[in-house]
């Protein structure tokens, strides 16, 4: 069998996401500003303004986003064999993502419920225990995009790293707080071979200090990134909400990109969209400032719609945004 070649193989999770959007003026729900709680009256029937049912997961979001931007991408993930798995497979097919590395195993699909209220979200996440026994037979790639996994994540991380090294493929790495808290030794091993590292500011702090702070000054973020650079990654990208994003290139040059303004409907998937735009731009030989611009436009488009994928831009839409 001839090997199938992809620009990017994303490695991680595929989930079913159920979004419930509550009306801003919903009398049955309110925010407790002091505690940060989203409050409902116990036992009440809560009115829902809109309900949407999509697929998600960091690796899935990035694979879909890359495909829309004209990058040949595929997903390496495990899914269940329940009725939800059919929706996952159909959605991937509709996005022109081949499923040669999507393994269907006995059991239910990963499932999340996201409550959207006043532009922010509360997530209820069920992570189904998986072995994540990934195989990369009969495929080649330019990039492996390695992102978050739930339980038993160490072995698949090592498998993905070994595959990338055999292929002489570049690695784009986006660990989440679970990996940063549970497995620094594995994370550091991947970092030594990482071409592009994507973190938010809080994840950058966990990587270095095991704690988050309220510091957001540009000089502070630059210092974080300079220390992370010593762990091995060539290009480091850190996002920090309304403060925008920062990048440090392989020569140590530092960049800052402000956010693009737009309507905020729901914030799920903004980080994935940013990483997608940045990584896609690199395939078109664009500069780091241009890649940051692609990331920012993709992120602002995603938060203008419900869910992590509805707002992901096509290449034509991206070029229109940039002008």
**pTM over cut 0.85:** yes
Q: Which residues contact 34 (CB under 8 A, 6 or more apart)?
A: none
Cα R_g (the chain), whole angstroms: 19
Strand 4-11, strand 15-21: pairing: unpaired
Q: State the Cα–Cα distance between residues 203 and 103, nearest whole angstrom.
A: 29
> Are the CB atoms for 267 and 303 separated by under 8 Å?
yes
Q: Mean pLDDT, to the nearest integer, of 22-51?
A: 77
pLDDT at 93: 96
Burial tier of 260 (Cβ tally within 10 Å: 0-12, 13-18, 19+):
middle
**Distance (Å, rounded) from C-alpha 191 to C-alpha 194?**
5
Segments making up each domain of the chain, as ranges: 4-322
C-alpha closest to that of 17 among 49, 46, 60, 47: 60
Beta carbons within 8 Å of 2's beta carbon, 6+ residues apart? 138
pLDDT of 119 > 70? The answer is no
Residue 2 three-state SS: coil
pLDDT at 31 (0 to 100)? 78
Distance CA 171, CA 179 (A): 17
Positive/negative CA dihedral, 53, 59, 65, 68: negative
Q: What is the mean pLDDT of residues 143-153?
A: 92
- Specify the CATH number of the domain 4-322: 3.40.1190.20
Task: Identify the top-confidence range among 1-5, 104-108, 177-181, 251-255.
Answer: 251-255
**pLDDT tens digits, 60-115:** 999 999 999 999 999 999 999 999 999 999 999 999 999 999 999 999 988 899 88
Q: pLDDT per residue over 259-308, tens digit each?
A: 998 988 888 899 999 999 999 999 999 999 999 999 999 999 999 998 89
206-229 tens-digit pLDDT = 999 888 889 999 999 999 999 999
């Amino acid at each position: 069998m001839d090997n199938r070649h992809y620009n990017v193989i994303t490695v991680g999770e595929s989930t079913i996401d159920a979004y419930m959007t509550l009306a801003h003026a919903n009398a049955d729900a309110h925010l407790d500003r002091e505690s940060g709680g989203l409050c409902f009256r116990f036992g009440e029937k809560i009115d829902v303004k809109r309900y949407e049912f999509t697929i998600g997961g960091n690796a899935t979001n990035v694979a879909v986003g890359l495909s829309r931007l004209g990058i040949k991408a595929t997903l390496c993930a495990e899914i269940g064999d329940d009725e939800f798995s059919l929706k996952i497979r159909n959605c991937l097919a509709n996005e022109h993502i081949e499923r040669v590395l999507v393994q269907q195993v006995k059991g239910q699909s990963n499932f999340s419920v996201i409550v959207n209220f006043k532009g922010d979200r509360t997530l209820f996440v069920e992570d189904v225990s998986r072995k994540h026994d990934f195989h990369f037979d009969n495929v080649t790639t330019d990039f492996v995009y390695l992102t978050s996994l739930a339980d038993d994540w160490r072995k698949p991380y090592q498998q993905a790293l070994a595959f990338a090294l055999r292929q002489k493929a570049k690695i784009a790495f986006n660990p989440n707080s679970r990996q940063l808290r549970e497995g620094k030794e594995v994370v550091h091993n991947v970092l030594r071979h990482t071409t592009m590292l994507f973190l938010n500011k809080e994840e950058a702090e966990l990587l270095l200090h095991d704690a988050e702070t309220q510091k957001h000054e540009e000089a502070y973020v630059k210092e974080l990134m300079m220390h992370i650079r010593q762990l091995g990654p060539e290009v480091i990208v850190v996002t920090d909400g309304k403060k925008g994003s920062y990048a440090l290139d392989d020569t140590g040059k530092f960049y800052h990109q402000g956010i693009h303004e737009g309507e905020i409907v729901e914030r799920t998937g903004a980080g994935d969209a940013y990483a997608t735009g940045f990584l896609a731009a690199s395939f078109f030989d664009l500069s780091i400032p241009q890649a940051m611009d692609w990331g920012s436009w993709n992120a602002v488009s995603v938060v203008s719609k419900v869910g992590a994928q509805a707002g992901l831009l096509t290449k034509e839409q991206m070029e229109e945004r940039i002008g």
